[in-house]
Copies of this chain bind each other. A is one copy, B any other.
Amino acid sequence: MSDETTERGQTNGDGGAWAIIMAGGAGTRFWPASRRDRPKQLLPLAPGEDRSLLRATLERIAPVVPLERVLVVTSAALADATAAELPGLPRENILAEPTGRNTAPCVGWAAAHVRRRDPNGVMVVLPADHHIGAPDAYLSVLARSLDAARAGALVTVGIQPTRPETGYGYLELGELVADGVHRARRFVEKPNRQRAEQFLAAGRFLWNSGVFVFRADTILAAIETHLPGLGAQLRIYDQAAARGEESTVVSETYASLPSVSIDHGVMEKADEVLVVPGNFGWSDLGSWTTAWELTEHDDRGNAAPEDAVLVDAESCFVRAPQGKLVALLGVSDLMVVDTEDALLVMPRNRAQDVRAIVDALKARRDPRL
């Protein structure tokens, strides 16, 4: 615990580092492991890892941010499960959104909380459901980003691309402004395959990781400029908080906030954004295919529990509860995800379409959703 902390959940307003973990996602692409009441971030989806993604996210930043300065933003429906997953976290550090309104309201509301408790606070915004293969490299990127942010910059962390990925937005690097810190030349929408290959070849395009670092007052000022409606509402939340009525006001008004991402709503419009390039084994764990890619394979490309029986099986992915034996015979490129009450079988190249199954379950009000 940092000596800057005076009591549980309170700091002395010294401009310390805070973490905002965005943990409200639904993660339907990981059904049947993920469920409506137990989505992706609450599951141990990373290879060789028995902590949930959320808990791993929190514990990974512990050397930089003590628990008292971690805020977790999630949905009201997930607040209890989130609290149970993070037993050391003060309950008041869980911000429960009455309804999901994308990341700008989430970041803005969290920033308002930080500023109230620490007017000079600087905050690292982290998705709860990413995997980091090299935590030390990650922490040094965050440290560098925090330094830049303390000076008043809006900072985003960019990932060195390893493939011509068409599923992510990109950042184009501008000039170097400090050791390992660049100006962002521009944000680029998800490219097509050809452009993605050009980006990879050019070497100056990074993946937009969704990790942002800025002072609370900096991002709130930027919100006032670029999303003035949201800014005005956040001031109303501050006033309500001073009267002890924040949760009532939030529950009555949150749904009216603009549903926009912090990227589109603020970062892309800001005059200057800095980028800290990172190379720390990042993965957004976007689908079962990513899980297969990250898991160690046998010499025929299978990633399966040790006791699986694989006969003439190639490039398959198997996930099953402890004690459940899975046998594959004569199949290739197949994904088998088994749980106590539901089983999914699909080819690897259909992992993006798991939502179709979830939609079918929704339509028939199946409890195994």
Contact = CB atoms under 8 A, between A and B. Distances in A.
Interface of A: 31-32, 307, 309, 311-312, 320, 323-331, 334, 336, 338, 341-347, 349-350, 353-354, 356-357, 360-361, 366, 368
10 contacts: A32-B325, A309-B361, A325-B368, A326-B345, A327-B344, A327-B345, A329-B353, A330-B346, A338-B338, A343-B343
Contacts of A32: 325, 327
A73 to B, nearest CB: 31
A320 B32 CA distance: 16
Nearest to A360: B309
The 9 A-B pairs at the shortest CB distance, nearest first, are namely A329-B346, A330-B350, A325-B342, A327-B357, A327-B344, A325-B368, A311-B356, A326-B343, A309-B360
A343 B327 contact: yes
B360 A345 contact: no
Contacts of A361: 309
A354 B341 contact: no
Contacts of A343: 320, 324-327, 336, 338, 343
Contacts of A323: 341
A361 B310 CA distance: 11
B366 A311 contact: no
A-side interface mostly: mixed
A211 to B, nearest CB: 32
Given A307-B366, A309-B357, A311-B357, 12 more contacts: A309-B361, A324-B342, A324-B343, A325-B368, A326-B345, A327-B345, A328-B344, A330-B349, A331-B334, A331-B345, A336-B345, A345-B345
A329 B311 contact: no
A347 B347 CA distance: 13
Contacts of A334: 331, 345
B346 A328 contact: yes
A31 B326 CA distance: 12
Contacts of A309: 357, 360-361
Contacts of A312: 350
A273 B156 CA distance: 88
A307 to B, nearest CB: 8
Contacts of A325: 32, 341-343, 366, 368
A324 B339 CA distance: 9
Nearest to A324: B341
A328 B32 CA distance: 12
A71 B320 CA distance: 43
A309 B366 CA distance: 11
Contacts of A336: 343, 345
A318 to B, nearest CB: 9
A72 B194 CA distance: 71
A31 B329 CA distance: 12
A331 B350 CA distance: 9
A184 B357 CA distance: 56
A136 to B, nearest CB: 38
Given A309-B361, A360-B311, A329 B354 contact: yes
Given A311-B353, A357-B309, A360-B311, A329 B344 contact: yes
Nearest to A347: B330
